[in-house]
Structure 1
Amino acid sequence: MTDASHRPSFHFHEKTLWFSAGLSALVMPVGGWVQPPAGAGHADSPEPKRRLWSLMQVSGLTNAFDIVASPPAPREVLEHIHPASYLDQFKELSDAGGGALHPTAPFGPDGWEIACLSAGQVLGAVMQVASGQRRRAYAVSRPSGHHCLPDMPMGFCMLANVAIAVRAAQAAGIGRIAVLDWDVHHGNGTEACFLDDPSVFTLSLHQEACFPPGASGATTETGAGAGKGYSLNVPLWPGAGHDSYMAAMDHIILPALRDFAPDMLIVVNGLDANAVDPLARMLLHSESFRAMTRQVIDFAESHCQGRIVMVQEGGYAEAYVPFCAHAVLEELADHRGPVEDPFLDLVRAQQPGPDFEAAHQAALSRHPRWRD
C-alpha cells in the first residue's frame, strides 16, 4: 500500500497482558491431584503476545503500522451482545478479586477492566475500518473472545470481543459482515451470537472436537431460523497440516465468502494451529498463516473494498506464536523484513504424508460446501 492514508493500524494495550487467568497447570485448576506448576502455569500466558510485540520492535515491523492503544469498550456497546445481568455478575465478581463464572474461564483481580480494554482494542480496529479511516487493521486481544456466549464466559474468553465490534460496525452503517475464524478451536461463541442473523456470516476452520469438546463445530451446524445457512463449520482431522488447510480455504472457505459478498471481513487470527501449540494437534507453520492471510487480503481487495480486520486471539506456544503472527502482520502491511522463522524447516519436515493428505482431502471433499 503506497497511500499513507491506507497504512494499517495495530491496536494493542500493554495492560491487556496483565490479565490473570488464575493458578492452573496448563488448563486445570491447581488442587487435588494437580500440583502447582513450576513455570508459567496456565496456558493463557501473556508471553506469546508479549514476545510478538518485542519481535516487532526489534525487527522494525512496528514502523509499518500506526500503533494505537484504544480505550476500553463502553458498557452500552457491550450490551449490544451481552445482557446486563451477565455484565453485572462479571463486574461484581471482578470487584471482589476474581473467580470463575465458568470452569474454563477463571480470572483474577481487575478482570472486568482488562476484558473491557481487550474488547476495546478490537472495537477500535473495526471502527477505524468501518469509518473508512483505514482499509486494514490488526488488534491484539487478551482475554480472547470467540468462545464467550452472550450470557456466559468460556474457554479463557470473558467478552465476545469480535461480536461486540460487529454490532458497532453495523450500527455505523456496514451491512453484511463475514467473520472467518481459523483459531484451532471452534468459534462457538461468535457463532452463537449471530446464529439466526443472515447479515453476519460466521465461518470456523478448526480441529475436530478439540474445544469445546464433542460435537461443537460439526458440519451440520449451519445456523437457525433466518440465519440458516449463515454459519459454516469446517472441522479438520487432528494432525492436519499446510496442504489440508489450503484445500479447505480454496474449496470451501473462499467460495463461501464470495457467495456471501460481505461489506467487511473480520478474521479471528488464532495461531494455535501451529505445530507446537500445547492445546492442539495441528501442524501449521508461519508460512501457512502467511498464505492464508494473503488469500483473505486478496479477497477483501476484490470483494469488500479492502476492508479487513485481523484479531489475534488464541495461540499458546510462547516461542513460536510470535513468528506466525509476524508473518501475518508482514502480509497485512505489504512489508517483508529480515526476520526468518527458525522453526520453519523443522515443521515442514513434520507435515503429514501423502496417504494422510489424500484421505483427509477426500473427506473434506464431502463437505456440503466443497466446490471444485
Structure 2
Amino acid sequence: MRKTGFVCDESYFWHDTGNGALFLPPGGWVETDVHSENPATKRRFKNLLERSGLMAKLVQIAPRPATREEIQLYHTPDYVEKVKHLSDTTGGDAGELALVGSGSYEIAVLSTGGAITAVDAVMKGQVDNAYALTRPPGHHAEKSLGMGFCLFNNVAIAAKYAQKTYNLERILVLDWDVHHGNGTESAFYDNPNVLFISLHQELNYPPGRGLAEHVGEGRGEGYNVNIPLPAGTGNAGYMYALETLVRPIADQFKPQLILISAGQDPSLFDPLARMMVTAEGFRRIASFMLELADTHCNGRLVACHEGGYSAPYVPFCSHAIVEEMSGIRTAVEDPFAPAMHTIPTDVLYDIQKEYVDRVKEVQSKYWKMS
C-alpha cells in the first residue's frame, strides 16, 4: 500500500460550460444538448471512489487557490485579466472552445491550486503520490489563449511552481490525454529541465500540433517527445510505446518528479476520440508510471485530471488508476469488460508498432534506444 493523496473541491463541479452539442453552442441546426466538458464524468468518478470505499482510504487534501503570481508563472497578465473579466461579467470564450461562466475564474484558480497543493503534499512527504481531480482542465491552455475547454494550464504551472519552490532540475511531464497537450508543450519547448512526453491520437486536436518532428528548440531540443498514435490503438499499443520509447528516455533523463496529465479520453467509449484503451489498460499505464517514479524519484508522482467524456466509463478508468496508485484493490470490476471481450484491445497491430518505431527513429538523435 502507498499513501495516496486525493485533491478535489465541490466548486470544481460548478464550473459552467453551458449547453451545447458535444462542443458546439446550440443554434441553427444544432439542438440544445449537454456540453462535453460537463461535471458528470468527474462527479461520477468521485461517487464511485466513495461507493467502493476507496475514498476513505485516501488522504484528503483540500486545495487552495493559486495566487495571481503563480498563475502568471506561465500565463500573461492580460490573459489572466481577460478570464477574470469574463467570469465577473457576461462569460464567454477565453480563446478557442474555452468557455468561461459566471465565477469560473475563482474555480479555475482553485483547480490550478489543486495541482500545486498536490505537488506540495508529495514533495513534503505528506503522501507518496497524489491524484488531483481538477476542473476545468488545463493542458491545452496556451500562454495567452484558452483552448479546448482549458482556462489555466494546471500541470504546466505546477511544474514551474515545483522548479521554483523545490529547486528541481528534472521534471517529467507525461500527457496520456488523447488530445495533444499543446499548451504544456509550448510552456517547455525550449527548456531542457522539463521532459514533456505526449501520447495522443494523431491528427485529432489541436490541428497541426503533436507531430513526431516537434522535438523542442534551442536548449530544449530533444526534450519534447510526441508520440502520435493511429486511431484504434488500444492497451497493447500504448504499452508498446511506454516500454520501448518512454522507458529508455525516462531512464536516461532520471526525473526528480513525475507529473501526469491524466485524460481518460483514450478510452474505448469516448465520443471525442477513436482509441480503444480499457479500464484495465489504464491500470497498466498507471502501474508503468508508478514503476518509473519508484525507480527515479522515490515514488513522487502527481496525476492531474484532464479530459474524458464518456460519463459511464471514465469513472471505472479513473478508479482503476487510483487503485493502482494506492495499491488498494476494491470489489469494483469493469462492468463493461464482458461486452468488450471480442474487441482486440490487447493486440499490437503492425501499423501501431510502425508509428512508435518512427518516433524512436526521430528521438534516437537525442536518446539511446534499446
Q: TM-score range by the shorter chain?
A: over 0.9
1:42 paired residue among 12, 32, 35 = 35
SS at match of 2:199: strand
Is structure 2 residue 351 aligned with structure 1 residue 359?
A: yes
Aligned to 1:23: 19
CA pair 103-29 structure 1, distance change in 2 beyond 3 A: farther
SS at match of 1:342: coil
Aligned to 2:325: 332
Is structure 2 residue 126 aligned with structure 1 residue 130?
A: no
Gaps of 5+ in 1: none
The amino acid across from 1:197 in the alignment is: N
Q: After TM superposition, list the pairs within 5 Å mapping 1:234-313 onto structure 2.
A: 234-313=227-306
The amino acid across from 2:5 in the alignment is: S
Distance in 1 between the 2:25 and 2:338 partners? 36
Deviations 1:93-135 (A, max 9, x none): 1110311122311221111111111111111101211233322
2:6 paired residue among 5, 10, 25 = 10
Aligned to 2:191: 197
The amino acid across from 1:359 in the alignment is: I
The amino acid across from 2:31 in the alignment is: Q
The question of whether the paired residues in 2 share the 8 Å contact of 1:121 and 1:139 is answered with yes
Give the deviation of 1:20 after TM superposition.
1.1
Q: After TM superposition, list the pairs within 5 Å mapping 1:341-356 onto structure 2.
A: 341-351=334-344
Deviations 1:203-258 (A, max 9, x none): 00000011113x21000011111111111000000111111111111111121111
CA pair 45-293 structure 1, distance change in 2 beyond 3 A: same
Aligned to 1:109: 102
Distance in 1 between the 2:158 and 2:350 partners? 39
Is structure 2 residue 74 aligned with structure 1 residue 100?
A: no
The question of whether the paired residues in 2 share the 8 Å contact of 1:242 and 1:351 is answered with no
The question of whether the paired residues in 1 share the 8 Å contact of 2:5 and 2:61 is answered with yes
The question of whether the paired residues in 2 share the 8 Å contact of 1:188 and 1:216 is answered with yes
Is structure 2 residue 204 aligned with structure 1 residue 210?
A: yes
The question of whether the paired residues in 1 share the 8 Å contact of 2:96 and 2:145 is answered with no
CA pair 244-73 structure 1, distance change in 2 beyond 3 A: same
1:181 paired residue among 152, 175, 179 = 175
Deviations 1:16-49 (A, max 9, x none): 0111112211111112221212xxx110011111
Aligned to 1:86: 79
Is structure 2 residue 64 aligned with structure 1 residue 71?
A: yes
Give the deviation of 1:72 after TM superposition.
1.1
The question of whether the paired residues in 2 share the 8 Å contact of 1:283 and 1:347 is answered with no
TM-score (norm 2): 0.95
Segment drifting more, 68-77 vs 281-290: 68-77
The amino acid across from 1:15 in the alignment is: S
TM-score (norm 1): 0.94
The amino acid across from 1:333 in the alignment is: S
* Percent identity of paired positions between Structure 1 and Structure 2: 40
RMSD: 1.5
Distance in 2 between the 1:151 and 1:300 partners? 32
Distance in 2 between the 1:15 and 1:54 partners? 15
Give the deviation of 1:348 after TM superposition.
4.0
